[in-house]
Amino acid sequence: MKKLLICATAAMLAASVFGSVCGGWKVNASATERVGKASYLCDYESGTVVSQQDATKHLPIASMCKIMTLLLSFEAIENGTMDYGEQIVASENASGMGGSQVFLGTGLSYTVEELMKSVAVCSANDSCVALAERIAGNEADFVAKMNARAKELGAEDTLFANCTGLPKEPQYSCAKDVATMLKALIGHGKYFEFSKVWYDDFLHPDGRTTRITNTNKLIRAYSGCDGGKTGFTSEAGFCLAATAKRGETRLISVIIGADSSSSRFDAIKAMFDDCFNRYETRVLVEGGKALDEKACVRGSKTKQISVAAERPIKVFARRGEKAEAKISVELDPDLKAPLQKGSIVGVAIAYREGIEIGRANLVALDDAPRMSWWEALRETAQSWQ
């Protein structure tokens, strides 16, 4: 790879970019201690942990386990084994679920999209089981998939016993793992089409209508909040995992075991407020914008092509803090025609103090067609001259 180092001045945090607690600072620590058994706050892009308390303590998380149910549903669609428009027939087992539900009718058909939306908006247990049975054949096998996926994500302090979060032993998770799962879930853009719905009518094939209302009150009560999952059982207490975005900064916050519904929302709002006030996200490399460096392509009339980062490279940092960052632009030295626009031609890597803090593929902004036989011959003749 050909390398070009570019110096940039950016607001940065030291080792916290890699997942440690930022400067030892705890957001509103006394407040979170009063309202919850555990908490966690991190930056979405970098994973930087801003605040945590008993973040790996094993606790029941109630309906927050539906974050994994939704994640597996999105991944089933992504890998082609399920489709949003597909009809699922509600089993007696699914329609008989208690707790939060949309009252699915046994033997009636519902689209995957309708079921997923009802899980995201109103935490429908019956829809969860219908999706689980469709994806894995039965809930037990789906739970095995949930546990396997949790391990793949690095959620080592999580054990699921069902797909709904209703009380059943043994099952537990922790604030850190819930944040990890939510981070994976919000990587699916369509999730936000569901999570931002405040209320809607869930239509049944037999003519009934169930009004669904978002259980995450921060969707309306907090500027920038566009997703998350609530949970409550007498065992777990009041729980909330939420995400909010302002400017370039997206945060994820989790509270487990609050003593009231309002206190969990207030605690998350306080954590978000403090973090947005103290930290910011700066763009080191813009996505899609041509870099000064050009890529050379052999066997094409187009000798050099413009390149750009496939996505932005960002840094999460304290406001006002400055430090030097370096961007290494590494281009493939053996590019050959034909090369199409959008092809990966290298990588850009951001470093601070020799430690990688972010990277993005570099893509071609131009086509580089192969020379014709005559063009190649003429170029060879010119080089002899």
Residue of 39, 46, 118, 123 marked catalytic: 123
Residue of 26, 37, 66, 245 marked catalytic: 66
What is the sign, positive or negative, of the torsion defined by CA atoms of 109, 111, 112, 113? negative
Whether 63 is catalytic:
yes
Whether 229 is catalytic:
no
Residue of 63, 73, 95, 118 marked catalytic: 63
Whether 195 is catalytic:
no
- Residues forming a β-bridge with 2: 331
List the catalytic residues.
63, 66, 123
